[in-house]
Chain A
């Protein structure tokens, strides 16, 4: 019976695999239970609020309905598959609904700006300033090119000033053993809590008031705005880069030193390149912090209706200033223009994020085969390791 023993393609067809078990998975029955519980909770609450009592308003209705929903869902699930599984599913449902509750305002905010700003988002918005636009003209007239140019120049200049300073401060804080690290860290923390309007006032009082009349460079202009924005960005970028550098494994520093490198050389050739993507994230966070600031620009860039592409002389517009001043106007066309400006501001931020991510992308990670390489800090790690505002100086370190 050689033929029967020889395996053929047909005869080696694998037997049907047993049904897979995923103990924590939500099945169709679970989703059905959720919908059913929600419906019965709503009707029950309606019964209580509209028929049995006079009700206590919509917030009370929602709270009672939600609690009733959780109770019903828990009871039904406990009856169906036991108390333990019911607790698990109840926790999942509670946490998920909490996340949705928190996400709602964000989506609402973005959606509101998009809905209000989209009608005015025409190509002409990117090619025109406010030359010749009178308050009575429709929102389609004029545009925000002057504000876009101003914002990019001011934030760009601020980055040129801030990034070298912030990275060297972070290196000082993390790679040296100086006694001055503690005071520097305190100052950086204090700076990160400084109200942004104070930064603007500081630059105004230090440069614009005493010298503004005589020297163009110290008058109202984009450069002054960049200085004010630098004061906002510096602590953000410094703290983030410091956390990123802390995530670089000590083994790499030791490896570098053991090859005969100096400490400075180690930082420059090993630590910073390893933390590259994290440093990029820090810069992105700094941009995000600065690009939407209005208050520091009020007494520095000052705002201007027309294109001024020289950031070193004369007032300059920026997107937040454009939005602020347009929306406070009485005419509907100006308010619409302001919302379009807000939408463009969000798009600019998005574009800058994308650009920074592209420039700082981790080239070594894409083709990684095993997970054994020393861990490099990613954006997610940084957000995990970042202290909240006002958190203690020492950050709990992961895996070190």
Chain B
């Protein structure tokens, strides 16, 4: 068992984190088999990362909304967070990439370890964390003032990452998000001109272009029709080996289809949300230990 408390932590699943978090990282990615490689300077380190929460609590003002969450999300796997509305799933997801602190009254306790390193420790910048941990939101939110191409490249511009071949990166990101064939002839048209499902895949491509180690998805399909949902689930299936995915979903079938692991959140009335049960998806759906999990996955409440 690796000791996470030491100063130079060694991640149990991935490579050791960089010694200095602000050091410029160079990552070379392959666009297409046989194609020229694309070099990114200043972006995240390569590969999927492990992310783990230890005793995570979250408050809004004096209101405790999340209590003692301990989940380890192994690299290259899809972890689904399930549970009824208002049980703290989204809050937990936002803890994982420091979006929680954007709410003025928000506070937290515990640790979130990215490759063994606490992302809330002093001396690490929130921007650095968010660059390594991408996010896809419930509502598609492409930048309306930018073209499709500029939307994909927005992360590079915003996080000041240098890129040797922008065209190649756009193609690679859109391919990974499963959108390339639909938009390759109109990369110059505005991102808002796409359908809802295409916009959401554009947002996935935008998040992937930065080459994050972890991708958080907050109910990415809740505003989409079944066809778009299937496309995005296929995209998740293709991405899972290169990036750790954490997905919040209200759709039990979706959680079953896409995830390797599941965590079931539940909040009793006037009590903070807690993790009732977690484990391999197969087990959670076939033989859960807790009666409440069984009732939820069978659709008896929630």
Contact = CB atoms under 8 A, between A and B. Distances in A.
Interface of A: 177, 249, 251-252, 254-262, 265-266, 269-270, 273-274, 276, 363-365, 367-370, 372-374, 376
User: Which 6 pairs show the lowest CB-CB distances between chains A and B?
Assistant: A373-B192, A260-B131, A261-B158, A364-B190, A260-B159, A258-B135
B238 to A, nearest CB: 21
A50 B137 CA distance: 74
Interface in B171-228: 189-196, 199, 203, 206-207, 210
A259 B141 contact: no
Chain A contact residues, majority secondary structure: loop
B142 interface: yes
B102 A254 contact: yes
A71 B130 CA distance: 68
Contacts of B207: 258-259
Nearest to A375: B144
Contacts, number: 115
Given A259-B154, A261-B158, A251 B141 contact: yes
A372 B134 contact: no
B76 interface: no
Given A363-B190, A367-B193, A372-B199, A258 B144 contact: no
Given A258-B130, A261-B158, A251 B206 contact: no
Contacts of B128: 260
A260 B127 CA distance: 4
Contacts of A251: 137, 139, 141
A254 B130 contact: no
Contact of A273 (B104, B134, B137, B146): B146
B193 to A, nearest CB: 5
B4 interface: no
Contacts of A177: 104
Given A254-B141, A259-B134, A270-B158, A368 B193 contact: yes
Contacts of A255: 135, 137, 141, 143, 203, 206
B127 A261 contact: yes
Given A259-B210, A260-B127, A372-B195, 12 more contacts: A249-B141, A251-B137, A254-B99, A254-B135, A259-B154, A259-B159, A260-B128, A261-B159, A269-B157, A269-B158, A274-B145, A364-B193
Nearest to A363: B190
B155 interface: yes
Contacts of B130: 257-260
Interface in B128-168: 128, 130-132, 134-135, 137, 139-147, 154-155, 157-160
Most buried by A among B99, B104, B190: B190
A259 B131 contact: yes
B30 to A, nearest CB: 22
A383 to B, nearest CB: 20
A260 B145 contact: no
A368 B195 contact: no
Contacts of B139: 251, 374
Nearest to A265: B158
Given A254-B137, A258-B130, A372 B196 contact: yes
